[in-house]
Structure 1
Amino acid sequence: MEASPVYFNSWSQKFRRPFGAVQCGQSVYFSIEVNYKNTLHVMLVAHKDGEPSREQEMFRSSDNPHIYKNKFSTSEPAGLYFYHFRIEFKDDRGVTHTVYYGRAEDDYGGRGFLYNDPSKIRQYQLTGYGFRDPAPDWYCHGVIYHIFVDRFNNGNRNHIIEQPKKNSFIYATEEDDPYYIRDHEGNIVRWDFYGGNLKGVINKLHYLHDLGITVLYLSPIFEASSNHKYNTADFRTIDPMFGDEKTFRKLISRADKLGIHILLDGVFNHVGADSIYFNRFKHYGEGGAFNDKFSPYYDWFSFRHFPDSYDCWWNISDLPAVNKTNERYRKFIYQSEESIVDTWTETGIGGWRLDVADELPDDFIAGIRSAVERHGSAGDKKVLIGEVWEDASNKMAYGKRRHYLEGGMLHGVMNYPFRTMILDLLHGKIDARLAVRLSLTMKSNYPPDAFLANMNNIGTHDTERILTMLSGDLRKLRIAVWLLMTLPGVPCVYYGDEAGVAGGKDPDNRRFFPWGRENRETESFFREAIQARRADANLQAGDYLPFSSGNLFGFIRYGSTAGPTVLVINVTSEEETLVAGHLNDETDSDDLSDVVFSVFNRTVSIKPFDFILAKAVPDKRFGLFNP
């Protein structure tokens, strides 16, 4: 393949510095290599999101006539910039040509592509954030455990179920498979329950502590008719099947003694049709927006035709959407000392995860963040995480660019792109080099604090179980677990994954935890990987530099004085060898290969579906890796 006459690499310090997202007001230094014989102009073409493009001339370097440079200044407010390069040159016949250099055709950053047609250019992204906004250390250095409360553990004597719901059914045994009873339109007509509760969580705190868990993320716990509680009926009441506020405060206290923080799930985009606020079925008296235009909750909702046609989430009539611009609703959720966020944050929780964050306006999220911060202190900082499924740095929702990661709103988001990368790598849908490019694009796009605060997962209550996704292959599961614990971000274990629970799509992915029937082999995968993360500061909050070598995917995590940590993974069914001189570094670094082979010498062989994790000795020769 003929080499391109133009070269730029957005991940290389030689061509763009500093790396990645920058704070507003900071300058970015661009360089590009142009190897035409008669170059006329080299232009940086950039625009701030929503603004016209402007061109800046790039000037020939005094050190190298093929290198052109430019200093680009960012400005407030926070937001995204998009850029490419335009080059004019004359060929040997004196004919003037114009070409363009933009992002590669795979839509990732790094080394780009030369375009002749300006309509085909893929723009590079530069993220400008407002200010550094790190999540608290207890969160970033921790390991999260996601509990779907009804399916985890029943703490009552003889597993008696407290205050079962009317018109619901209780499973005969905790070993039963979950199943929905639906009507002819597909609506769930009988909610199903196993009886897990907050007492059950309290009773298993020592198990979780022994596993290495430091943060519990609870699925919604407020009163609701369903087992999942995403259709809130009363934000001020713990669901009676789960317990009460006294039990919840006991959970917080007991967890705190073990060094475990609690995260609550904040579902503020919609409520249940069966709720105090909407009350479609009159289970809460005669009031509510559905029944009374004079209800204090009526203007929370948007009726197209009162009362039976209204805005709801994803057209699910059981989940009427709330108007988040309504001032009374904002006051109820976060703008007063008696607000929902204030009331429950005051109990001593560590923070919140916001359900469907893309449905919440940026200023609504900022208001929640302010309310959460009112209850924090220097020794007890709070965290706010959002549910976002895509690259949250450039997310568009309802025609608007989202700014929730640019300071003062979300600390981070759920990192579904990393989950997709792990699964695609293990399924052979992408190769090692593409995994490097995907993850470096994420690192480059996200503000650095947000990148390290993302909640990583390999499964949630909204996805198929990881063991099922991997067709029960324990070798692949072991690799997935170690990637979860070693990639940048905060790992979150979905309850039961460590016990070998399988399960397809909802509701099968919400089986009851198999107490006494755990798979000890899969549990050992999690225990060992969690222990490795918690014992290594690099894996908790270190910088990240991935690489590939043929079929091998690897990365370096660095930042501690103990020297870098190196992980190399073989996701194939054949033994693979890492050989000096055959390492692909997408950042054009001078140090990466030297660091890797200072650990492994000249070659290292890795068995099929296996990996090697090792620490490099601190060496001042490798300047990039010295803290």
Structure 2
Amino acid sequence: MGLPDIYFNSWSEHFLRPFGAIQIGRSVYFTIKVDGVNIRSVHLVVQKDGEPSYAVPMIKSLDNSSTYSLRFQTTGKSGLYFYHFHVVYLEVGQEKSIYYAKAEDNYGGEGRLLADLSSVQQYQLTCYDHSDPAPDWYIEGVIYHIFVDRFYNGNRHQMIRNPKKNSFIYATKEDRPYYIRGQDGDIVRWDFYGGNLEGIIAKLHELKKLGVTILYLSPIFEARSNHKYDTANYLEIDPMFGDRKLFETLILKARRLGMHILLDGVFNHVGADSIYFNRFGNYGGGGAYQDPSSPYYQWFTFHNDHDHYDCWWNIADLPTVNKEQKSYRDFIYGSEESVINTWTKLGVGGWRLDVADELSDEFIEGIRQVLDQHNKKGEQKVLIGEVWEDASHKIAYDKRRHYLEGGMLHGVMNYPFRSLIINLLTEKQSAREAARASFTLRANYPHDAFLANMNNMGTHDTERIFTMLGGDQKKMRLAIWMLMTLPGVPCVYYGDEAGVEGGKDPDNRRYYPWGRENKKIYSEFQVSIQTRRVHPNLQKGLFLPFSMGKLFGYLRYLANDDYTAIIFNPTSEMTTIDCSKCIDEMHDQMINTCLEQLSIDQQTIAPWDFLLVHCGN
């Protein structure tokens, strides 16, 4: 008699509606096709995150005996539901069970039949608390990520501002970054090039010409290192970069050019060489390491003696702060003189939170509430978190994170899209896999968060994108256009537009090659940024990915008659568009209809090239 023929697609509204993440309290309508004789029962097996699973019987359709449906009501607090289907059928007089769940690749959409319950990978339904859109200036913008020491020295004659003790400054700007480490592996001499806030001010017009509207600065507060993630004083600008007056000038001049500034908030840990910890005594006799009666002592967790304490990733130079301490929360966000209030009231556009997984949801929510108090008409603030994985279902320290469900983060850094771009262009991932991976993210994330994610091809923590692509300018061109057209806000890591290469830290933090830029790559960034900024579809449009053989493409649209189609050929072969081979992951007609209207069938796309066409306004 054989197995029943079962089909479900979590991306098709014929089987699940509404599509994707929904607001808690709304109903979800499930439909599954089960063809076969002697079907005894069909159940939706549901588990709300952290709770026991339970089975809900599905009702057979009166007009179609192979269709079973269910209206499911979401309830309680926001969070995740996980689900699969359980079908019981009769075979040779015995009841048998079979399950329908996510496909083997663990993406959403079409699933697979399984006889073994232990092999089931459950579908995810994200339920958020409330709609939480980021401000328009952010969603419609283009971000430029500046590692301040490596960008530009704006002082006359390139004089280094306030060089630090026990450090070295490179002889030329072309020198490659290099760490001097001691026997224990710790960095014993920090290296500097001398970039500063004056340098950013001096280059604002060039950034404006590139098309940048948002400056995301690596930490600018006082610290011993060149990267400043070892904060020494949250209330002082590092003297090598400038001072508060100079920072206010930067904010003012950037705003005149239509630019907002995002600050990097490093609140999980501080520097061992800081006013708060003061391991080396450079801040007098105070600090938690030197003085148990210090007001900062309770911020840290010591073990037996002051030389053994909690630190981030066991790096002694980065003592971890106890974020549950009320005095620390008040210092960061809970008082009028807090760090968030002090700098936000100067006019910054928002913050990016370093290692957001290390901060509790309550801590992030507290920052957001204070940040929202600075919102004015047309001047909303934005809060972005550093998360490397799919943030919709992230678990950190055995706790499910809820920071995208409303009232916390607007979005996160979109490292999954970086992986997608690199894997597709290095032929480690097929076009179909790229379509399924990207669509899974769209389905898992609340719509507002999906559009607010900070998309990046590289950061100070990763190898340079040009290096990852083997220095191939054709591949680089495709990567640039993917960055500018995928959903989310594109973030350009300083120097990528100049063709800077670099391996792992510190090589990925080379000085910007002023006057030696790769003009071809720079021009591609400039044109693609302008294209994104003039087409609302590329800023706020919905996202429908598809594949055609080795071609990867997607639609971005605000209305059915106003859309943009982008098709990439990530291969070394001339490829002809064959719309009959289009795999529409939703199994709906919109993609095929749009491609037909564009009359692009049988057009050819050169190796490592792409096609971008608009239809509508």
| TM-score normalised by length of structure 1 | 0.97
Letter in 2 for 1:552: L
1:215 and 1:4 map into 2 onto residues whose CA distance is 55
- Aligned twin of 1:624: none
Q: Secondary structure at the match of 1:452?
A: helix
Please say if residues 4 and 36 of structure 2, whose CA atoms lie closer than 8 Å, have aligned partners that are also in contact. no
CA-to-partner distance for each residue in 1:250-296, whole Å, 9 max, x for gaps?
Answer: 00000000100000000000000000000000000011000111000
Residues 223-302 of structure 1 aligned to structure 2 (within 5 Å): 223-302=222-301
What SS is found at the alignment partner of 2:417? helix
2:315 is aligned to: 316
Counterparts in 2 of 1:227 and 1:15: CA distance versus 1, 3 Å = same
Is the alpha carbon distance of 1:616 and 1:3 closer, same or farther for their aligned partners in structure 2, counting shifts above 3 Å?
Answer: farther
1:355 maps to: 354
> Gapped runs of 5+ residues in structure 1?
619-627
- Report the equivalent of 1:383: 382
User: Post-superposition shift, 1:597?
Assistant: 2.1
- Show the counterpart of 2:76: 76
Deviation at 1:85, TM superposition (A): 0.4
Write the distance in 1 (CA, Å) between the matches of 2:142 and 2:589: 33
Structure 1 stretches of 4+ moved >4 Å: none
SS at match of 1:275: coil
Are the equivalent residues in 1 in contact too, given 2:4–2:34 (CA < 8 A)?
no
Distance (whole Å) between structure 1 residues aligned to residue 439 and residue 476 of structure 2: 23
Determine if contact 1:537/1:560 at 8 Å carries over to the other structure.
Answer: no
1:178 corresponding residue in structure 2: 177
Q: Does 1:27 align with 2:55?
A: no
The answer as to 2:148 corresponding to 1:149 is: yes
Q: Which amino acid aligns with 1:308?
A: D
How many angstroms apart in 2 are the aligned matches of 1:306 and 1:524?
A: 57
| Partner SS, residue 582 of structure 2 | coil
1:379 is displaced (CA, Å) by 1.3
* 1:453 alignment counterpart: 452
Q: Note the C-alpha offset of 1:529.
A: 0.8
Aligned mates of 2:464, 2:570 — CA distance in 1 = 20
Q: Distance in 2 between matches of 1:147 and 1:326?
A: 32
AA matched with 1:443:
R
User: Contact 2:577/2:600 (CA < 8 Å) preserved in 1?
Assistant: no
Counterpart for residue 593 of structure 1: 592
Spell out, residue by residue over 1:531-562, the C-alpha distance to the aligned partner (whole angstroms, 9 max, x if none). 11001000011000000010000000000587
Q: Which stretch of structure 1 is more off in the superposition, 269-278 or 116-125?
A: 116-125
Contact 1:102 1:113 in 2 (8 A): yes
1:621 maps to: none
The CA distance in 1 between the partners of 2:568 and 2:599, in whole Å, is: 14
Aligned counterparts of 2:581 and 2:64: Cα–Cα separation in 1: 28
Task: Please say which of residues 321-330 and 368-377 is displaced more in the overlay.
Answer: 368-377
- In structure 2, the CA distance between the partners of 1:251 and 1:323, relative to structure 1 (3 Å rule), is same
CA deviations over 1:68-124 (Å, ceiling 9, x no partner) = 000111112110000000001113x33321101111111111000111111111100
CA contact (8 A) 2:4 2:37 kept: no
CA distance in 2, matches of 1:75, 1:412: 24
CA contact (8 A) 2:3 2:36 kept: no
Pairing 1:583–2:579 present? no
Whether 2:108 is the aligned partner of 1:125: answer no
Say which SS state the counterpart of residue 84 (structure 2) adopts: strand
Residue equivalent to 1:61:
61
- For the residue of structure 1 that corresponds to 2:409, the secondary structure is coil
Distance across 2 between alignment mates of 1:87 and 1:132: 36
User: Counterpart in 2 of 1:610?
Assistant: 609
Alpha carbons of 1:178 and 1:3: their partners in 2 closer, same or farther (altered >3 Å)? Answer: farther
Secondary structure in 1 aligned to 2:580?
Answer: coil
Q: Using the alignment, how far apart are the partners of 1:499 and 1:4 within structure 2?
A: 57
Which residue identity lines up with residue 403 of structure 2 in the other structure? Y
CA deviation after TM superposition for structure 1 residue 600, in Å:
2.9
Match of 1:431 in 2: 430
Task: Summarize the alignment of residues 387-398 of structure 1 with structure 2, pairs less than 5 Å apart.
Answer: 387-398=386-397
Give the 3-state SS of the residue equivalent to 1:50 in structure 2: coil
Distance in 2, matches of 1:441 and 1:548, equals 15
Match of 1:106 in 2: 105
Would you say the 8 A contact 2:180–2:187 is kept in 1?
yes
| Partners of 1:21 and 1:446 within 8 A in 2 | yes
Tell me, in whole angstroms, the C-alpha distance in 2 between the residues paired with 1:345 and 1:489.
24
- 1:499/1:518 contact within 8 Å kept: yes
| 2:8–2:110 contact (8 Å) kept in structure 1 | yes
After superposition, residues 328-477 of structure 1 pair within 5 angstroms as 328-477=327-476
Q: Map Cα deviations across residues 174-201 of structure 1 (whole Å, 9 max, x no partner).
A: 1111110011221110000000000000
**How many Å apart are 1:4 and its aligned residue?**
7.2
**CA–CA distance in 1 between the matches of 2:563 and 2:602?**
19
- Structure 1 residue 616: Cα displacement: 2.1
Asked if structure 2 preserves the Cα contact closer than 8 Å seen for 1:265 and 1:353, the reply is yes
Distance between the aligned counterparts of 1:434 and 1:97, measured in 2?
A: 33
- Distance in 1 separating the partners of 2:612 and 2:108: 27
> CA–CA distance in 1 between the matches of 2:315 and 2:467?
28
Q: Which amino acid aligns with 1:266?
A: G
Q: Which amino acid aligns with 2:50?
A: G
Q: Which residue of 2 aligns with 1:11?
A: 11
CA spacing shift, 1:115–1:560, aligned 2, 3 Å:
closer
Aligned counterparts of 2:4 and 2:60: Cα–Cα separation in 1: 19
What is the alpha-carbon distance in structure 1 between the residues aligned to residue 284 and residue 4 of structure 2?
A: 73
Letter of the 2:609 partner, please give it: D
Alignment check: 8 A CA contact 1:215 1:260 kept: yes
Per-residue deviation, 1:305: 2.1
Amino acid corresponding to residue 302 of structure 1 in structure 2: T
C-alpha distance in 2 between matches for 1:428 and 1:370: 44
Q: Distance in 2 between matches of 1:454 and 1:442?
A: 11
> What does residue 496 of structure 1 align with?
495
Measured in 1, the distance between the counterparts of 2:53 and 2:499 equals 53
Could you say which residue in structure 1 is the equivalent of 2:552?
Answer: 553
**1:36-65 per-position Cα deviation (integer Å, ceiling 9, x unaligned):** 112110000001000011111101112321
Letter in 2 for 1:32: I
Q: Secondary structure at the match of 1:80?
A: strand
Q: d(CA) in 1 for partners of 2:278 and 2:559?
A: 55
Other structure's SS at 2:190 match: strand
The residue aligned with 1:41 is 41
Q: Aligned with 2:43: secondary structure?
A: strand
Pairs aligned (count): 616
**Letter of the 1:49 counterpart:** D
Aligned-residue CA RMSD (Å): 1.1
Distance 1:220 1:289, change over 3 A: same
Q: What is the CA–CA distance in structure 2 between the aligned matches of 1:198 and 1:305, rounded to whole Å?
A: 42
Q: Please give the alpha-carbon distance, in whole angstroms, between the structure 1 residues aligned to 2:417 and 2:155.
A: 38
- Is the 1:457–1:484 Cα contact (8 Å) retained in structure 2? yes
Cα offsets for 1:212-267 (capped at 9, x unmatched): 00000000000000000000000000000000000000000000001000000000
8 Å contact from structure 1 (residues 4, 114) kept in 2: no
1:279/1:582 CA distance change after superposition, 3 Å: same
Q: Distance in 1 between matches of 2:54 and 2:3?
A: 29
> Could you list the runs of 5+ residues in structure 2 that have no partner in the other structure?
none
